[in-house]
């Protein structure tokens, strides 16, 4: 159980630096009526007034907007980048919004409360966009068609949102089918080999020999045997999920402290009760580590399978865009992919936090 | 009858306790390179409602005897019977309280106490008994807390409540206070006597604390070094509640230490 926590701690630690804790609510801890009697120094720390980071971010976005609008695009030999003006106006709108929030401070309510921790990120984001814009559209240091400016992503979404959306939906469907089936099979396998000596004897060697084979190595075989490329891809995504879930569930069930069983047995528990109410809940922290690893593996197999044989999905879209040298489309697909994978991992962690709320000191994703 | 035993009365009720007969029990463990004898011909009877303490040096096999009585393991030779019926498997009429509270960390205090009722499928009808057991150990306000919020003493009280909610005929106590600090331990000893007097179960306590054994038990069985056999039997003929400063207790303590070969410092 501790190992599960440690692994997730280690995994989470890399990402923990991103959301800085909000400094706002801390000094407000004493009741409001005492605020008058607080020393001036402490009162100054109460962030009731302007939001400096917000104003700085506003200035950065203003700079980005002016850079986009006033600096003419470098001619690239074909028609000009579309949506340059719209991109500039959008950044100016962001700048205006941030300016208003910066001036209002905490009086802006919920929105300011939500954005406040991200103040430094908002500044950095504008800077990154500015460098990107300058290097591609304005200076041409990064040449087209291999590199595309930010506004071209708007172009892609505008032109090709149907195909991109459909590809995302196909990927999600394939991932959902494969992941759920693989996780379920892995969980059941893990519980049975962790619990039953006979199941362990027969399944364990199989798991040891076949489990570590990368699922994508079986791609040609799966496409050959399965009735359709979709079924083959579901199988491979499932297989990629199956292995880590099975191994970690197994180790979770096997490492349940013997005294937990003794307690339940003396209280009159049946075998079924021992599995369902003792072994499985005690193994759950490990199971979630397995699910996390399985989800990561399934992303990689999903995209590979879609690139190799499935005629739909984000992997296919990437291949297709590259075939047409539509690099902007490729970047857009990559963005969607990043958002999708990160969103799913976040979702998994939310579920874990809910299910394992009894654990203390778990990492917040 | 079940509820009455939990909630009312102050005198021990002889009917609620089990009679335990241990006859000629010897036990061996398989260890690498042979066998290790831990028990050697133990004969012991626990009368209904009696509180018996097993006192012995560390590692002498006391806890093994308890595991056999609980039915967690079969004895190599000899018989153990409860009310004349041989003990072959664990049964909720004999509840063990271990040295570690072993609460399930994923369950709230209430759900931990409810464990036995849930395991036997009677929780739905008997939910009130969980509240009653929590009230008995004074943890009503902590019903929704999770084990990692509890102190050692509180966790062990939850473990006691988890045992008592099943209305056991025999409470098997495996050094239940061994890991508590000495102040908590003194308080818990008195609580244990109160609970025992109210519910009237038989109790079999393993401890290596001489004072604790004499403070709690009607009879103290002194065990020898491994393999454990009964070295002496001390009847503690004092009424409850007992007083720690009692001269009679001090004399019995001297006697117990002498049986253990530790009276040089007396």
SS3 for chain B is CHHHHHHCCCCCCHHHCCCEEEEEEEEEEEECCEEEEEEEEEEEEECCCCEEEEECCCCCCHHHHHHHHHCCCCCCEEEEEECCEECCCCCCCEEEECCCCCCCCCCCHHHHHCHHHHHCCCCCCCHHHHHHHHHHCCCHHHCCCCHHHCCHHHHHHHHHHHHHCCCCCEEEEECCCCCCCHHHHHHHHHHHHHHHHHHCCEEEEEECCHHHHHHHCCEEEEECCCCECEEEEEECCCCCCCCCCCHHHHHHHHHHHHHCCCHHHC
**A143 and A158 belong to one structural domain:** no
Domain count, chain A: 2
pLDDT above 90: residue A253: yes
Q: What is the pLDDT of residue A176?
A: 94
Pick the last residue of a domain from A110, A126, A147. Answer: A147
Q: What is the pLDDT of residue A154?
A: 85
pLDDT in tens, B61-104: 888 888 888 888 888 888 888 888 888 888 888 888 888 889 99
CATH of the domain at A306: 1.10.3720.10
In a domain, B10, yes or no: yes
Considering only the beta carbons, identify the residue of A257, A267, A281 that sits closest to B116. A267
pLDDT above 90: residue A189: yes
**A173 and A252 belong to one structural domain:** yes
Mean pLDDT is highest, among A180-189, A201-210, B18-27, for A180-189
Q: What is the pLDDT of residue A157?
A: 84
**A300 and A179 belong to one structural domain:** yes
Q: Higher pLDDT residue, A348 or A311?
A: A348
Residues of chain B contacting residue A267, judged by C-beta atoms under 8 Å apart: 92, 95, 115-116, 119-120, 162, 166
Mean pLDDT is highest, among A242-246, B2-6, B76-80, B168-172, for A242-246
The residue of chain B nearest to residue A266, with distances taken between CA atoms, is: B90
Q: What is the pLDDT of residue A32?
A: 42
pLDDT above 80: residue A16: no
Residue A214 forms contact with B (CB below 8 Å):
no
The residue of chain A nearest to residue B148, with distances taken between CA atoms, is: A360
In a domain, B188, yes or no: yes
**A218 and A330 belong to one structural domain:** yes
Q: Are A277 and B119 a contacting pair at CB < 8 A?
A: yes
The residue of chain B nearest to residue A279, with distances taken between CA atoms, is: B104
Nearest-CA distance A204 → chain B (Å): 26
Cβ within 8 Å of B, A 141-170 = none
**CA–CA separation, A361 and A345 (whole Å):** 19
In a domain, A235, yes or no: yes
Q: What is the pLDDT of residue A365?
A: 58
The residue of chain B nearest to residue A260, with distances taken between CA atoms, is: B102
Q: Are B105 and A358 a contacting pair at CB < 8 A?
A: yes
Residues of chain B contacting residue A273, judged by C-beta atoms under 8 Å apart: 118-119
Pick the last residue of a domain from A147, A163, A183. Answer: A147
Considering only the beta carbons, identify the residue of A266, A281, A359 that sits closest to B90. A266
Q: Are B90 and A277 a contacting pair at CB < 8 A?
A: no
Nearest-CA distance B89 → chain A (Å): 9
Considering only the beta carbons, identify the residue of A260, A273, A360 that sits closest to B104. A260
Q: What value of ipTM does the predicted structure carry? A: 0.80
pLDDT in tens, A77-114: 666 788 888 888 999 999 999 898 888 877 777 777 78
Q: What is the mean pLDDT of residues B10-29?
A: 72
pLDDT above 80: residue A131: yes
Q: What is the mean pLDDT of residues A226-239?
A: 90
For residue A100, give its domain range: 44-147
Residue A262 forms contact with B (CB below 8 Å):
yes
Q: Higher pLDDT residue, A108 or B106?
A: B106
Nearest-CA distance B258 → chain A (Å): 34
In a domain, A37, yes or no: no
**A171 and A111 belong to one structural domain:** no
Q: What is the pLDDT of residue A281?
A: 93
Pick the last residue of a domain from A112, A147, A182. Answer: A147
- Which of A289-298, B157-166, B233-242 has the lowest average pLDDT? B233-242
In a domain, A122, yes or no: yes
Q: Are B115 and A359 a contacting pair at CB < 8 A?
A: no
Residues of chain B contacting residue A278, judged by C-beta atoms under 8 Å apart: 104
**A121 and A168 belong to one structural domain:** no
pLDDT in tens, A47-73: 557 888 888 999 999 999 999 888 888
pLDDT above 60: residue A12: no
pLDDT above 70: residue A273: yes
pLDDT in tens, A193-202: 999 889 989 9
For residue B248, give its domain range: 2-261
Residue A273 forms contact with B (CB below 8 Å):
yes
Nearest-CA distance A280 → chain B (Å): 11
In a domain, B234, yes or no: yes
CATH of the domain at B6: 3.40.50.300
**A48 and A193 belong to one structural domain:** no
Residues of chain B contacting residue A358, judged by C-beta atoms under 8 Å apart: 105-108, 146, 148
Considering only the beta carbons, identify the residue of B70, B104, B105 that sits closest to A266. B70
Q: What is the mean pLDDT of residues A237-250?
A: 94
Q: What is the pLDDT of residue A364?
A: 59
Q: What is the mean pLDDT of residues A242-271?
A: 91
The residue of chain B nearest to residue A274, with distances taken between CA atoms, is: B119
In a domain, B15, yes or no: yes
Domain count, chain B: 1
In a domain, A360, yes or no: no
Nearest-CA distance B196 → chain A (Å): 19
Q: What is the pLDDT of residue A137?
A: 83
Name the pLDDT band for A216 (thresholds 50, 70, 90): confident
**A164 and A286 belong to one structural domain:** yes
Residues of chain B contacting residue A282, judged by C-beta atoms under 8 Å apart: 104, 106
**A173 and A76 belong to one structural domain:** no
Percent of chain B residues past pLDDT 70, beyond the cut: 94
Considering only the beta carbons, identify the residue of B90, B98, B120 that sits closest to A265. B90
In a domain, B266, yes or no: no
**A166 and A222 belong to one structural domain:** yes
Q: What is the pLDDT of residue A260?
A: 92
Nearest-CA distance A274 → chain B (Å): 9
Residues of chain B contacting residue A359, judged by C-beta atoms under 8 Å apart: 105
**A65 and A204 belong to one structural domain:** no
Q: Higher pLDDT residue, B58 or B105?
A: B105
Residues of chain A contacting residue B92, judged by C-beta atoms under 8 Å apart: 266-268
Residue A261 forms contact with B (CB below 8 Å):
no
Best mutation target among A4, A263, A284 (most B Cβ atoms within 10 Å) is A263
Q: Are B148 and A277 a contacting pair at CB < 8 A?
A: no
pLDDT in tens, B138-150: 889 999 889 988 8
CB B78 within 8 Å of CB B23:
yes
Nearest-CA distance A242 → chain B (Å): 25
**A162 and A193 belong to one structural domain:** yes
Average predicted confidence (pLDDT) for chain B: 84
Q: Are B115 and A259 a contacting pair at CB < 8 A?
A: no
In a domain, A17, yes or no: no
């Amino acid at each position: 159980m501790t190992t599960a926590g440690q692994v997730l701690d280690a995994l989470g630690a890399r990402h923990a630096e991103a959301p800085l804790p909000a400094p706002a609510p801390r000094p407000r801890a004493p009741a409001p009526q005492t605020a008058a009697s607080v020393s001036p120094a402490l009162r100054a720390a109460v962030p009731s007034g302007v939001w400096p980071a917000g104003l700085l971010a506003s200035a950065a976005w203003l700079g980005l907007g002016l850079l986009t609008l006033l600096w003419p695009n470098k001619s690239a030999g074909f028609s000009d980048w579309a949506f340059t003006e719209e991109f500039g106006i959008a950044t100016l709108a962001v700048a205006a919004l941030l300016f208003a929030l910066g001036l209002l401070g905490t009086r802006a309510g919920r929105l300011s409360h939500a954005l406040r921790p991200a103040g430094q990120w908002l500044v950095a984001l504008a800077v990154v966009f500015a460098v990107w814009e300058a290097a591609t559209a304005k200076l041409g240091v990064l040449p087209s068609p291999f590199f595309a400016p930010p506004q071209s992503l708007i172009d892609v979404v505008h032109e090709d949102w149907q195909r991109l959306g459909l590809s995302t939906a196909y990927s999600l469907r394939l991932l959902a089918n494969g992941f759920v089936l693989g996780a379920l099979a892995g969980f059941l396998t893990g519980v049975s080999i962790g619990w039953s000596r006979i199941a362990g004897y027969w399944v364990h060697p199989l798991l040891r020999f076949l489990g570590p084979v990368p699922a994508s190595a079986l791609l040609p075989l799966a496409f050959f045997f399965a009735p359709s490329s979709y079924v083959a891809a579901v199988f491979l995504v499932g297989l990629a999920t199956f292995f880590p879930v099975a191994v970690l569930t197994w180790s979770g069930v096997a490492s349940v402290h013997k005294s937990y069983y003794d307690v339940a047995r003396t209280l009159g528990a049946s075998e079924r009760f021992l599995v369902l109410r003792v072994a499985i809940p005690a193994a759950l922290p490990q199971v979630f580590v397995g699910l996390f690893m399985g989800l990561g593996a399934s992303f990689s197999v999903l995209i590979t399978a879609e690139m190799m044989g499935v005629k739909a999905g984000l992997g296919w879209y990437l291949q297709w865009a590259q075939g047409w040298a539509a690099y902007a489309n490729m970047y857009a697909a990559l963005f969607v992919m990043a958002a999708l994978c990160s969103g799913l991992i976040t979702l998994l962690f939310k579920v874990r936090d809910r299910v394992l709320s009894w654990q203390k000191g778990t990492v917040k994703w | 009858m079940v509820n009455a035993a939990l909630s009312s009365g102050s005198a021990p009720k002889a009917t609620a306790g089990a009679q335990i007969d241990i006859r000629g029990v010897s036990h061996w463990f398989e260890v690498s390179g042979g066998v290790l004898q831990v028990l050697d011909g133990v004969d012991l009877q626990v009368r209904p409602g009696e509180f018996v303490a097993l006192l012995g040096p560390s590692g002498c096999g006391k806890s093994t005897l308890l595991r056999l009585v609980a039915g967690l393991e079969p004895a190599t030779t000899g018989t153990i019977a409860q009310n004349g019926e041989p003990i072959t498997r664990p049964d909720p009429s004999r509840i063990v309280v271990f040295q570690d509270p072993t609460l399930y960390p994923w369950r709230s205090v209430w759900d931990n106490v409810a464990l036995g009722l849930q395991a036997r499928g009677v929780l739905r009808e008997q939910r009130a008994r969980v509240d009653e057991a929590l009230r008995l150990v004074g943890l009503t306000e902590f019903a929704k807390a999770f084990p990692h919020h509890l102190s050692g003493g509180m966790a062990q009280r939850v473990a006691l409540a988890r045992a008592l909610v099943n209305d056991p005929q025999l409470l098997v106590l495996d050094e239940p206070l061994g890991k508590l600090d000495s102040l908590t331990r003194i308080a818990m000893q008195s609580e244990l006597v109160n609970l025992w007097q109210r519910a009237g179960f038989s109790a079999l306590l393993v401890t290596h604390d001489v004072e604790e054994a004499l403070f709690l038990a009607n009879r103290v069985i002194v065990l020898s070094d491994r393999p454990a056999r009964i070295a002496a039997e001390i009847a503690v003929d004092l009424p409850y509640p007992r007083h720690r400063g009692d001269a009679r207790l001090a004399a019995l303590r001297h006697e117990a230490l002498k049986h253990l070969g530790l009276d040089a410092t007396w």
